[in-house]
Amino acid sequence: MSLALLTPLALGLLALLVGPLLVHLVRQRPNNQHAFGAMLLLRRLERKLRRRRKLQDLLLLLLRLLAVLLVVLAAAGPELRWPGEPEELGQAGAVVIILDDSLSMDQEIDWALTDGAIDNQRRTLFTEARSSAIELVKGLPDGVLVGAVTIGGSAEGLVSTLTADHGTVSAALVEVRQSQGRTDLSGGLRLARRMLAGKGGEVIVLNDEAGPVAVPAAREEIALLTAQGGALRPRPLSIARPANVSVLSAVYGNGPEGGSVTIELMNFGESVVEVSCTVRLPDGAEITTFVEIDAAATAEATVTVPRVADGGVGIVEIDDGSVAVDDAFAFHLPRIGASRVLVVDGDPGLTPTDSEVYFLERALAPWGTASAARGGVLPDVTSSAGITTLDPEEHRVVFLSNLDDPAAIAGRVVDFVRRGGGLVISMGDNVTVDRYNAAFADLLPAPLRRPRALANYGEPGIPTALPDTGTELFRPFSRGGLSAFSRARWQRIFTLEPYNETDTVSTLMSLEGGVPLLVERKVGRGRVLLMTGTFDLGWGNLPLQAVYMPLIQRLVGYLGGETGGGGERLSGVVGDPVVIPVPDTSIDLDIIGPAGPVAAHVSSSGVSFTPDRIGAYSVQTPGAPPLAWVAVNVDPVESDVRRGPSLIETAADVAPERFLHRKALSPGLILAALGLALLQAVLAVRRRKAEAEDVQ
């Protein structure tokens, strides 16, 4: 409620206040008076009388001044203004209910079992608003058209059009659940206007009016609703002392003992609070600390991460006892510890594309080495002379591609495998059977024979047989992508001496017809995989197939390398679309979120999806580590549960002719001035009588 003046210039009449002052000044007696004789006794009497009427004279002056002031104010046309709603509910014949199911509505009222309500649950502003919405629909007169809209995340109509079937709308409201999205009040009013189809009607808004953004953002829609004759009826819900603590950020940084995660928290409440803060790493490890935060302030906490930890998306969880849906925060965590793969290139070529490992390197780090350096696989490409850089504490997997003479490095490689390392040996034109059989006798699953031509030049070659998804290496391909192996064809291949399948030697992949293509041998604590073909285009078309990258990534993971932290790293907000560019959209792609598979749209530019909750989302292809990680969180503005601008006051500011009530004060001021004038006249008459009696 506020006071306004219709004619502010009339306040210039305040100069009339000088009149009563002059009247009182004229009545003052001279200061230079000389008493003589009997007048001394009269002087004493006069002082006594002056003391008796001093308060009365002052009161009379104040009454005269106040009377003039009231007349001047009345001339200025003051009026009281306050925001309010128009006519009675249901009189317009059409009602749209806007139910706020955004994150801030999760403010808890108290723990209780609902009495005869939807189900047993916490009592929150949302559950109260939903119950009120249902009662409003049930209480509408028969024949009144009704619709319902939710505004958590993005506005959504619960019914397509207005309907006289109140039971249908009530049932739809019953099914609404708390969301983690921001408040789309503007979108909700837009949908309500469309439901009313440009005609008059009533829009009832059940929300908490929390935060500084949602209500001001809806000013334009309020104006449009008013222009089409709609009546806005806010029904705000709030608690006496809003309180909430949320995580604003969590960032991993390198440092001693493997690094640390720095967490920033915000207390939106009015009291100092202490909350528990737990950091859950991708491998399931948990680290807990406690943080004290002043009222309406931020605080930081730091937790140390172990020296070895899997990469991916970590989660920070707090327990503030208030808003529950924003008590988690997702953050990116790179692989910490050994994660490099050593790639020995036996045929570098004159240009990068001529290199033996050109395709292999890109399959290991599909997003480039800059992205891989932040987590996941980072291939170290070197020649055979660079095998001295092999560090078992840093490298977990080694690829040897088309080496001409492995004798010089054999001892170091054999020791690496026996200590638990993983080794992949691929063939090529540089490979000599005698040199390999001699140098790698302790590693090869069977002695090599000379290479065998499978097709003439220009012929498609022999296809690859579908691998057994019952084996550990190919088990992930059971979800999809297995058929792509048959499109990999071979023109040339190395053959092996006959061997028996044992606990230490097994055939993992072969050509159609049974010729071994990928054979495993366990040596000490490590494993060796022998690829009888090549990883480039020299002897087959495997690198051109969609299954190539998943296979390479799977080989690394199978041999003990870390691939889970690799891939593109993106961030998202609940309710906002996330677009992820992928190198090849022809392969099978899945989005996996905290609750399982998520609906996604694949286009030529990539894959997109809209997350509905906080957590880790990954873009996956069968049999391979995630192509991308997305850390999804809520809009931090939505966690601010403090009361924001009032919706009805905003509506009154936008459309005062509809939402601003007025009451003129001039008539009351005139009556009050007349009353004061009469009162001062009575007091003046009584004073004269009293003075006359004193003189007598």
- Residue with the bigger pLDDT between 199 and 410: it is 410
Contact 380, 343 (CB under 8 A): yes
Q: How far apart are the first and last CA of the chain?
A: 56
Which residue bears the tokens 């004038």? 677
Least confident among 38-42, 77-81, 343-347, 516-520: 38-42
pLDDT digits (tens, 9 = 90+) for 491-505: 999 999 999 999 999
Q: In the structure, what pLDDT confidence band is assigned to residue 3 with cuts at 50, 70 and 90?
A: low
- Looking at per-residue pLDDT, the higher value among 204 and 305 belongs to 204
- CA–CA gap between residue 608 and residue 591 (Å, rounded): 9
Residue bearing the bigger pLDDT, 49 or 353? 353
Nearest CA to 624 among 572, 546, 532?
Answer: 546
Domains, in order of start, for the chain:
2-77+665-695 (no CATH), 94-240+642-661 (3.40.50.410), 245-327 (2.60.40.10), 340-558 (3.40.50.880), 568-637 (2.60.40.10)
Residue 322, both tokens: 């208030």
**What would the mean pLDDT of 691-695 be, rounded to a whole number?**
64
CB-based contacts of 397: which residues, under 8 Å, 6+ apart?
341, 342, 421, 422, 423, 424, 555, 556, 559, 560, 561
Residue 668 CB neighbour total at 10 angstroms: 13
Position 24 scores a pLDDT of 58
The tens digit of pLDDT for each residue in 300-357 reads 999 988 876 777 899 999 998 889 889 999 999 877 654 678 999 999 888 878 889 9
Interatomic CA distance for residues 187 and 193, integer angstroms: 10
Query: Do 242 and 641 touch, CB atoms closer than 8 A?
Result: yes
The span from the CA of 100 to the CA of 182, in Å, is 10
Residue 8 has a pLDDT of 62
Average pLDDT value for residue range 44-50: 60
- Give tens-digit pLDDT for 381-395: 888 777 777 776 677
Contacts (Cβ under 8 Å, ≥6 apart) of 264: 247, 248, 249, 250, 298, 299, 300
Q: Are 304 and 254 in contact (CB under 8 A)?
A: no
Mean pLDDT of the chain: 83
Question: Is 26's pLDDT higher than 60?
Answer: no
Q: Which of 47-56, 93-102, 510-519, 522-531 has the lowest mean pLDDT?
A: 47-56
Please state the pTM of the whole predicted model.
Answer: 0.61
**Residues 253, 254, 255: CA angle, nearest 5 degrees:** 115
Instruction: From 211, 326, 317, 333, select the one nearest 574 (Cα to Cα).
Output: 326
Give Cα separations from 293 to 151, 273, 350, 615 (angstroms). Answer: 31, 6, 61, 24
Q: Out of 35-39, 195-199, 371-375, 671-675, which region has the weakest mean confidence (pLDDT)?
A: 371-375
Contact 366, 543 (CB under 8 A): no
**β-pair partners for 453:** 492
pLDDT at 119 over 50: no
Helical axes 647-654 vs 219-227, angle rounded to 10°: 60
The count of C-alpha atoms lying within 13 angstroms of the C-alpha of 290, restricted to the half-sphere facing its C-beta, is 3
**Could you write out the DSSP letters of every residue in 147-191?**
EEEE-BSS-EESSSS-BS-HHHHHHHHHT-----S-B-HHHHHHH
Find the Cα–Cα–Cα–Cα dihedral 506, 511, 514, 516, rounded to 10°: -40
Q: What is the pLDDT of residue 276?
A: 94
The per-residue pLDDT for 16 is 58
How many Cβ atoms sit within 10 Å of the Cβ of residue 520?
Answer: 19
Q: Find, among 17, 8, 97, the residue nearest to 673 by Cα.
A: 17
**Cα 267 from Cα 350, distance rounded (Å):** 61
Place of tokens 């390198």: 254
* 693 pLDDT higher than 90: no
What pLDDT, on a 0 to 100 scale, did the predictor assign at position 55? 45
> What are the tokens at 682?
């009575």
| Dihedral (Cα; 484, 490, 493, 499), 10-degree rounding | 40
**221, pLDDT greater than 50:** yes
What is the model's pLDDT at position 231?
86
Diameter over CA atoms, the chain: 154
pLDDT bucket at 183, cuts 50 / 70 / 90:
very high
pLDDT classification of 670: cutoffs 50, 70, 90: confident
Residues 261 and 249: their CA atoms lie apart, in Å, by 10
